[in-house]
Amino acid sequence: MQQGLVQFSWTFVFQIFNTIIIFLVLRRILFQPVTNFMDERTKSIENAINDAELKNQQADELKNDYESKLDNIKEERNQIIREATKRAEERSDEIIKAAQTEAKLIIERANLEIERERQKAINLLKDEISALSIMAATKVIEKELNEEAHQAMIKKFIEEVGDEQWLN
């Protein structure tokens, strides 16, 4: 008799019964803890993913805040630079105007001084001419004037001054 792969006997029933008991025992001892472990691991991974997403959102918000603050700082920096440049230009204009005013005053003082010196030189020249004229007149008066000497002096004067000037 040839026997097949599966025979229905008490052994077969015991094998099925043992398989069910082993399945229940393994399920109780091994499958539930592994399933619980896997569920907990899944939950912890999901929590980690949620935390990571939350932190990414917070990081994005912080990034946006910092970018807006940087933009504000850049604008404020540009404003400060513009104001400082404007103040520097105004100060430069003030300094230039003050220097121009001072230069005008110096030029005016120099012109006044030149005019005073010129007037002084003219007065000095007049005084010297007067002194020379008086000396010359004194010499002429001291010298004995006769008609002939008097005529010679007039003739000499006319020659020196010139006929045209004398006639005008």
Q: Which sequence spans correspond to the domains of the chain? A: 11-145
pLDDT digits (tens, 9 = 90+) for 89-118: 999 999 999 999 999 999 999 999 999 999
On the CB side of 89, CA atoms within 13 Å amount to 6
For tokens 């917070």, the residue is 58
Q: How far is CA 160 from the centre of its chain?
A: 76
CB neighbour burial string for 139-153, b if at least 16 within 10 angstroms, e if fewer: eeeeeeeeeeeeeee
* Tokens, residue 26: 């393994």
Say whether pLDDT at 82 is over 60.
Answer: yes
Residue 93's SS3 state is: helix
Average pLDDT over residues 109-133: 86
Q: What is the CA radius of gyration of the chain?
A: 64
Q: What is the pTM of this model?
A: 0.41
> What pLDDT, on a 0 to 100 scale, did the predictor assign at position 26?
84
